C-alpha cells in the first residue's frame, strides 16, 4: 500500500511528463476502442447482408446444381422436405432461379430472375426490409416485380414503370411477358443488385415450370452452431447438396475471420509508437532518480520493491489512461452505434460482392472494450519491464555517487 502511495506521488513530481504520457496512451486507447467498434459493426453488417438477406445460413439444392445451375435441375418434392426441416426447428423457404433479358424503353440488361414464396421468404430473409422505393412483392399482384438497385439504374426504371422480361421457358418456347415494377431495392450486393424478384406463381407461369424448386434457403436456430446445423440438415436432406454460406462464399468467410486478426496488427502498430514513448519516459524517470533510488536501496528497500515501484508507476499511468480513455469513448461509441458515420457523400461501393452500408454503424461488444485495453496493458507491461529491471539492479553506493 505504501508502495502504491509512493508510486502515485512520484508520478506527480513530474507532472507534465506524466500528463503527456497518459494523454498519448489515452488517445491511442480511445481511437482503438472506436476503431474496434467500427470494424465489428462493419463485419456484423457484412454477415447480416450475406446471411439475413442473400444466402441464409445454408442452402439445399439438387445434386450438381451449383456446377450447372440449370432451370431443369430442381428439387423434385420440396414440400415434404420443407415440412421435415420445419419439424427439426429450421425456418425454410424455397427459391426459384432463372436467367433472362430485361428491357425497358430502349435499355436492356441481362438479369437473374428470382421467384419467391413471398410469405415464406419473409421468415428467412430480411430482403423485404431493403426496399428503397415503392413496395415489396405482393402475392396478389402476379405482374408486379421488384428490381435490384443497379438494374434499376441500368434500365432507368422506378416504381410504376413497365418492364419486359425475355427468356427461354422450360418447354423450349420463348418466354416473354410484361411486368410492372413495384419496388426498387437498396444496394445489398452484386447478385441482388442485378436481379429481378417476382412471386413464385409468376415465375412458374413465365418459365412454364409447374413444379420443383431450385434452392431451399435454411435459417438455423440462433443459438445453434453453424456446422452442427449443417450436419443436421444433411441428415434430413439425404441425396441433396447442402452448403453453408461459408461454403458458398469462402472468400467472404475467410475475410470475416481474418479481419479480426488483422485488427490486432493495427493495434500493435499504433501501440508500438506508444511503447517507444513510454519506454523513453520511464527510462528518463529512472535515470533522473538514480541517486534517489540508490538512497532507497541504502536504507533497506529490496530490489523487488524498487522494481514493483517502477512497475506500479507504469501501471498507474496505464490505469488512468484506461479510465479516462473509456470514459471519453462513451459519447463516441454512443454516437457511432446510434447515428453512425454517414458515408453516403462518398457514393455507394461494394467489397467482395457485398455492398457497403452508406451509414457505417459501430457495434459494442465486450470485445470492443476488452481487446484494446488488454493489448494496451500488455504493451505497457513490456515497455516498463526493462527500466524497472534496470532500477532494481542498481548498486546503492555507485548510484548515490551518480551526478
List interacting residues with other proteins (CB under 8 A): 14, 16-17, 20-21, 23-24, 27-28, 31, 67-72, 99-103, 105-112, 154, 156, 166-168, 172, 190, 194, 250-251, 254-255, 266, 269-270, 272-274, 276-277, 279-281, 283-284, 287-288, 343, 346-353, 356
Nearer to other proteins, 103 or 324 (CB): 103
Distance CA 125, CA 191 (A): 15
Nearer to other proteins, 72 or 378 (CB): 72
- Closest contact distance (angstroms) between CB of 120 and other proteins is 26
- Closest contact distance (angstroms) between CB of 299 and other proteins is 21
- Closest contact distance (angstroms) between CB of 85 and other proteins is 27
Distance CA 110, CA 93 (A): 25
Nearer to other proteins, 110 or 303 (CB): 110
- Closest contact distance (angstroms) between CB of 278 and other proteins is 9
347: left (phi over 0), alpha (psi -120 to 50) or beta: left
- Closest contact distance (angstroms) between CB of 187 and other proteins is 9
Helix ranges (H only) for 299-361 are: 303-338
- Closest contact distance (angstroms) between CB of 349 and other proteins is 4
Distance CA 259, CA 20 (A): 32
Nearer to other proteins, 117 or 215 (CB): 215
Nearer to other proteins, 93 or 282 (CB): 282
Give the CA distances from residue 296 to residues 1, 128, 293, 392, 397, in Å, rounded to whole numbers and listed in that order: 17, 73, 5, 11, 11
Whose grid coordinates read 410504376? 160
Sequence-separated (6 or more) residues with CB below 8 Å from residue 129? none
The SS3 of residue 217 is strand
Sequence-separated (6 or more) residues with CB below 8 Å from residue 165? 100, 101, 102, 103, 111, 113, 145, 175, 176, 177, 179, 196, 206
Nearer to other proteins, 5 or 284 (CB): 284
Nearer to other proteins, 16 or 80 (CB): 16
- Closest contact distance (angstroms) between CB of 396 and other proteins is 20
62: nearest Cα among 241, 202, 329: 241
State the DSSP code for 172.
Answer: S
Q: 88: part of which helix (H) or strand (E)?
A: none
Amino acid at each position: 500500500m505504501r508502495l502504491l502511495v509512493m508510486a502515485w506521488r512520484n508520478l506527480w513530481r513530474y507532472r507534465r511528463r506524466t500528463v503527456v504520457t497518459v494523454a498519448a496512451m489515452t488517445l491511442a486507447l480511445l481511437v482503438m476502442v472506436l476503431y474496434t467498434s467500427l470494424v465489428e459493426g462493419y463485419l456484423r453488417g457484412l454477415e447480416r447482408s450475406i446471411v439475413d438477406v442473400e444466402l441464409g445460413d445454408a442452402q439445399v439444392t439438387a445434386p450438381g446444381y451449383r456446377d450447372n445451375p440449370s432451370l431443369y435441375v430442381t428439387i423434385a418434392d420440396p414440400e415434404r422436405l420443407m415440412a421435415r426441416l420445419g419439424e427439426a426447428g429450421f425456418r425454410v423457404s424455397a427459391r426459384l432461379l432463372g436467367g433472362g433479358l430485361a428491357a425497358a424503353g430502349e435499355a436492356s440488361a441481362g438479369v437473374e430472375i428470382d421467384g419467391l414464396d413471398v410469405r415464406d421468404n419473409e421468415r428467412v430473409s430480411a430482403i423485404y426490409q431493403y426496399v428503397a422505393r415503392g413496395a415489396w412483392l405482393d402475392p396478389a399482384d402476379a405482374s408486379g416485380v421488384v428490381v435490384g438497385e443497379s438494374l434499376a439504374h441500368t434500365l432507368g426504371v422506378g416504381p410504376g414503370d413497365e418492364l419486359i422480361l425475355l427468356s427461354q421457358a422450360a418447354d423450349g418456347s420463348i418466354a416473354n411477358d410484361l411486368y410492372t415494377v413495384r419496388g426498387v431495392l437498396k444496394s445489398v450486393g452484386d447478385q441482388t443488385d442485378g436481379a429481378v424478384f417476382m412471386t413464385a406463381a409468376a415465375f412458374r407461369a413465365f418459365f412454364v415450370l409447374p413444379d420443383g424448386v431450385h434452392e431451399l434457403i435454411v435459417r438455423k436456430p440462433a443459438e445453434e452452431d453453424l456446422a452442427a446445423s449443417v450436419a443436421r440438415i444433411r441428415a434430413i436432406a439425404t441425396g441433396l447438396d447442402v452448403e453453408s454460406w461459408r461454403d458458398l462464399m469462402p472468400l467472404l468467410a475467410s475475410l470475416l475471420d481474418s479481419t479480426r486478426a488483422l485488427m490486432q496488427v493495427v493495434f500493435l502498430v499504433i501501440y508500438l509508437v506508444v511503447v517507444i514513448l513510454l519506454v523513453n519516459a520511464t527510462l528518463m524517470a529512472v535515470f533522473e532518480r538514480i541517486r534517489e533510488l540508490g538512497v532507497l536501496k541504502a536504507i533497506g528497500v529490496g530490489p523487488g520493491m524498487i522494481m514493483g515501484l517502477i512497475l506500479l508507476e507504469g501501471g498507474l499511468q496505464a490505469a488512468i489512461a484506461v479510465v479516462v480513455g473509456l470514459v471519453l469513448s462513451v459519447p463516441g461509441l454512443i454516437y457511432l452505434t446510434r447515428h453512425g458515420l454517414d458515408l453516403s457523400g462518398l457514393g455507394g461501393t461494394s467489397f467482395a460482392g457485398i455492398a457497403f452500408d452508406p451509414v457505417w454503424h459501430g457495434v459494442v461488444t465486450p470485445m470492443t472494450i476488452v481487446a484494446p485495453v488488454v493489448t494496451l496493458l500488455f504493451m505497457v507491461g513490456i515497455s516498463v519491464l526493462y527500466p524497472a529491471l534496470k532500477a532494481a539492479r542498481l548498486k546503492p553506493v555507485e548510484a548515490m555517487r551518480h551526478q
